[in-house]
Amino acid sequence: MKLLLNQDLPLLDALAILAPDSSKTTLRSWLKDGRVCVDGIVEKVGNIVVHQNQTITVGAKPDPSIDGLRVLYEDSHLIVIVKPSGLLSVAANFEKSKTAHAILKNHFRPRKVYVIHRLDQDTSGVMLYAFSEKAYEKLKTIFADHDIVREYIAIIEGHLPTPKGKWESYLYEDESYYVRTTSDPERGRLAITHYEVLDTNRSFSLVKFTLETGRKNQIRVQSKAAGHPIYGDQKYGTFGSPAKRLFLHAQGLAFKHPITGKEMVFESPLPQEFKRHFKNV
């Protein structure tokens, strides 16, 4: 929003002209958050006088964050965040304190924070946690019934034979916690992944994956089995030069709110590291 003043006014009064439907409390919060600029300079004091022909602009609302976790949505039943690459979703034998779950528990204490699903440590993107036991139970059912849309974007090595397709296999985890594919339904659990190629360059493909099931390391394992591992995947055999991160990002999550039934759709933009490899993203 932008306003060119035609008279001298206190900044708070000028903001009231710019946004007549907003309360004084809201206008003061804009100032506090550093969203208000006068001639391009941030101004946080509401009673200063802004002069005629000066321009007031109000910037976009800053993304709230909790210790590095960007918050996309929060209510009394659930919270949706964006987890950065390199951070565990939940505690592991080798790390119990620096996890997304621990950060949320510490921030919202004494409220409980329930784990609904997980992302691999090196995968970034949208995650969901519950605050109430009722929401937790219903969300677990939603995930178990696959009544949810989970979309990922990845950079894979090489080029797939078709622009769209489906991978279907059975996955099992061996004694070394390495997930493998098998054609034996008695040995593994069914994993189905749909893919769509979004862009290609000489060495890589940018691919959207939609999960029909949600098995551990599903996309990574099936990409490897197809001969096109995810760029930067040190566990599942990247063929090319080493990368600074795993190029797998949970971009989208859509589901019905477990309490209200409202359709909820969330999306996290691709990290900058992905955009350096492709011009059209």
As annotated, the active-site residues are 120
* 157: β partners: 204
Count of CB atoms situated within 10 Å of the CB of 38:
17
Rounded to 10°, the helix 24-32/11-18 angle is 110
Count of CB atoms situated within 10 Å of the CB of 175:
5
> How far apart (Å, rounded) are the C-alpha atoms in residues 40 and 152?
38
> How far apart (Å, rounded) are the C-alpha atoms in residues 262 and 143?
16
Give the three-state DSSP class for 93: coil
* 88: β partners: 99
